[in-house]
Amino acid sequence: MGLLERIGSPADVRALTPADVEQLAREIRAFLVESVSRTGGHLGPNLGVVELTIAMHRVFESPADTFVFDTGHQSYVHKLLTGRQDFSQLRRRGGISGYPSRGESEHDVVENSHASTALSWADGIAKANELQGRGDRSVVAVIGDGALTGGMAWEALNNIADGQDRRLVIVVNDNGRSYDPTIGGLAHHLDTLRTTQGYESVLSWGKRTLRRSGLPGRAAYDALHGLKKGIKDVVAPQGMFEDLGIKYVGPVDGHDEPAVERAMRRARAYGGPVIVHVITEKGRGYTPAEQDIADRFHAVGQIHPETGLPLAPSRFEWTSVFADEIVRIGRRRPDVVAITAAMLQPVGLAPFAAEFPGRVFDVGIAEQHAATSAAGMAFGGLHPVVALYATFLNRAFDQVLMDVALHRAGVTFVLDRAGLTGADGASHNGMWDMAMLGVVPGLRLAAPRDEATLRTALREAVDVDDAPTVVRYPKGAMGEAIDAVDEVDGVDVLTRTGAGERSVLLVAVGAMATTALETADMLAAHGLRATVVDPRWVLPVAPGLVKLVGEHDHVVTIEDGVVDGGVGSAVAQRAREAGISTPVQAFGIPRAFLDHATREQLVGTLRLGPADITRDVLRALGER
């Protein structure tokens, strides 16, 4: 029986000998490689924080001391040390979440896996501890250097510095990466901290040099004062943090557990806000991850544990089509530039960056800045394409509304992972975008159904120079091409089937086109005439679509976004305004947070499959 199997709580971790700790770290890394290679998940980030997490649990006493993980994808080791060692169903329905989860353990606090939020959470918890007399409790926030590029983190630091008696420890897990290498001024600052001799060492060298110089006392004093002032911000750039009023400890080798433990104990004893700067290596201890410069092991599917190669061949994906088409557009349009928020590879901008390196801007985890900076670029004569995961655009809604739309800026937002993404849980489902963006004046939103319509939508989007445009598509593999059989006032007709007297119009939104086509066949089998249309540009509702609504007895909209305020709601409203009384039955995602599961499982639970939709439509028509 190994050491890991005997760990049931953090108290067991604190009871280990130093030799036991080394053995435990080896066992945890072996466990992570073996388990995550079978299920998929965030492998690289967790291999990098093994010693760090062990040290945290040896110094602090969770849950009395609160641990907050920024983003949370590096919490697997924390789960193992708090009694959760069944990873057989990781990120699957009924299994443990890939992020902290209050439903799993009292040791988990923050479930939101959007980055740069942990310091604000920690500030709030520390203030609550202070006001409620829990002065003996500490709050420990773990934030990566990538997440520190987000403006919200700096807003929090500004406030944390104001609470000198609050027991708050900020662990900066510095591995030089988020999804991609960390960029910006902070990254350069942390590089200096990693590579420059310490202030005290250089100061000692300066003192020795001055003594040998033979300068008289006052001159030597003045020279020493000048030396201190001159080297402070060069060789001791931790002053940036300490000038805020936050004590700095480090940098510390994050894979030297005793050293990390000593730094943590110093921070805990200080009794006020402290930054512990820990240098780690993403993917530590797993050769394929250590040697991979593209960071493919940040998150993996099922892989061969020895080689790190995928078990199943990758299929042609939506992201790949975008990656190819944006390069084609860039060759034709020198004014088109691309913006990413620390996710150059995942959103498909790497080929564009390779061909047009001066036309790509990685702003770090700063979606708000990305949107407003894009508005500025549009004002300056460029056409920015801002590529994000759909769930992360939520963070920049005000900027889309007030900086882009209000100023009629020609900015294109490309939303990857739109709709149900499944395994990453509530905060990663890209289901909010259409309902949220539907209130933005002038905004136009396209939901392509296949490769050809995605390419067309992108070309059409960048041709709009007086309003924001959005192109959204789902995660994963792309289905077969779906050709239109007709077009009515700019609306694609995908099929007309059935021969009954009563007619049903099915409005397919993007990737739900296949579902709509299968539903139409089922309705036809029940004696109904069914027409499936795809407006492609779903917001605002096209006049041609409103006309088609008036020509049918019943309308069904099928979307993979929140149904309240979504496309179906917009279609119904436009029809009412046109004096059309045809009932509109909207199918989509309820206004709820969805637990982690596969996309197929969620579709079944939400009754968004063809059979369930058919039954509900027949019931509404009184056919069953």
309 part of a folded domain: no
What CATH number has the domain bearing residue 329?
A: 3.40.50.970
**pLDDT per position as a tens digit, 490-508:** 999 999 999 888 999 999 9
175 is in an annotated binding site: yes
Residue 490 pLDDT: 92
What is the domain count for the chain? 4
Residue 231 pLDDT: 44
464 part of a folded domain: yes
DSSP-assigned letters across all residues of 543-593: HHHHHHHHTSSEEEEEEEEESTTSHHHHHHHHHHHTT----EEEEEE-SSP
Per-residue pLDDT band for 180 (boundaries 50, 70, 90) equals low
Q: Which residues are catalytic?
A: 282, 367, 395
Which residue has better confidence, 580 or 188?
Answer: 580
Q: What percent of the chain has pLDDT over 70?
A: 85
367 is in an annotated binding site: yes
Name the residue among 103, 22, 20 with its Cα closest to residue 6. 20
CA distance readout (Å), 188 to 191, 195, 252, 276: 5, 11, 18, 18
pTM of the model: 0.82
DSSP 342: S
Whether 280 and 223 map to the same domain: the answer is: no
Domain-terminating residue out of 439, 472, 505:
472
526 is in an annotated binding site: no
481 part of a folded domain: no
Residue 232 has pLDDT above 80, yes or no: no
Residue 192 has pLDDT above 60, yes or no: no
Q: Name the β-bridge partners of 222.
A: none
Domain of residue 206 covers: 197-236
Residue 251 pLDDT: 83
Give the Cα separation of 595 and 96 in Å (integer): 11
Whether 117 and 141 map to the same domain: the answer is: yes
Whether 329 and 403 map to the same domain: the answer is: yes
42 part of a folded domain: yes
Which residue has better confidence, 230 or 394?
Answer: 394
Arithmetic mean of pLDDT, 518-539:
96
Whether 190 and 66 map to the same domain: the answer is: yes
CA distance readout (Å), 5 to 15, 77, 276: 14, 13, 30
Residue 233 pLDDT: 44
146 is in an annotated binding site: yes
Which residue has better confidence, 333 or 202?
Answer: 333
Arithmetic mean of pLDDT, 537-555:
96
Whether 67 and 127 map to the same domain: the answer is: yes
Residue 384 pLDDT: 97
Residue 288 pLDDT: 72
**pLDDT per position as a tens digit, 3-34:** 898 999 999 999 999 999 999 998 998 888 88
Whether 451 and 553 map to the same domain: the answer is: no
129 is in an annotated binding site: no
Which residue has better confidence, 252 or 545?
Answer: 545
Residue 621 has pLDDT above 50, yes or no: yes
Whether 35 and 130 map to the same domain: the answer is: yes
Residue 323 pLDDT: 94
Whether 226 and 250 map to the same domain: the answer is: no
**pLDDT per position as a tens digit, 36-80:** 888 888 888 888 889 999 999 999 999 999 999 988 888 889 999
What CATH number has the domain bearing residue 497?
A: 3.40.50.920
Element (H, E) at 128: helix 118-131
Give the Cα separation of 242 and 247 in Å (integer): 5
Q: Where are the strands (E) in 9-87, listed by range?
A: 66-69
Residue 438 has pLDDT above 90, yes or no: yes
Per-residue pLDDT band for 369 (boundaries 50, 70, 90) equals very high
Whether 46 and 134 map to the same domain: the answer is: yes
Whether 385 and 256 map to the same domain: the answer is: no
76 is in an annotated binding site: no
478 part of a folded domain: no
Q: What are the start-end ranges of the H helices in 216-298?
A: 217-235, 239-242, 257-270, 287-290
Phi-psi region of 583 (alpha: psi -120 to 50; beta: other; left: phi over 0): beta
Give the Cα separation of 176 and 109 in Å (integer): 26
Give the Cα separation of 591 and 571 in Å (integer): 18
295 part of a folded domain: no
Whether 138 and 259 map to the same domain: the answer is: yes
What is the edge-to-edge ordering of all strands in the sheet holding 336-340?
A: 360-362, 336-340, 383-389, 412-416, 469-472, 444-446, 537-539
Whether 516 and 616 map to the same domain: the answer is: yes
Name the residue among 427, 359, 348, 328 with its Cα closest to residue 388. 348
363 part of a folded domain: yes
273 part of a folded domain: yes
Q: CA 487: distance to chain centroid?
A: 38
Give the Cα separation of 244 and 229 in Å (integer): 17
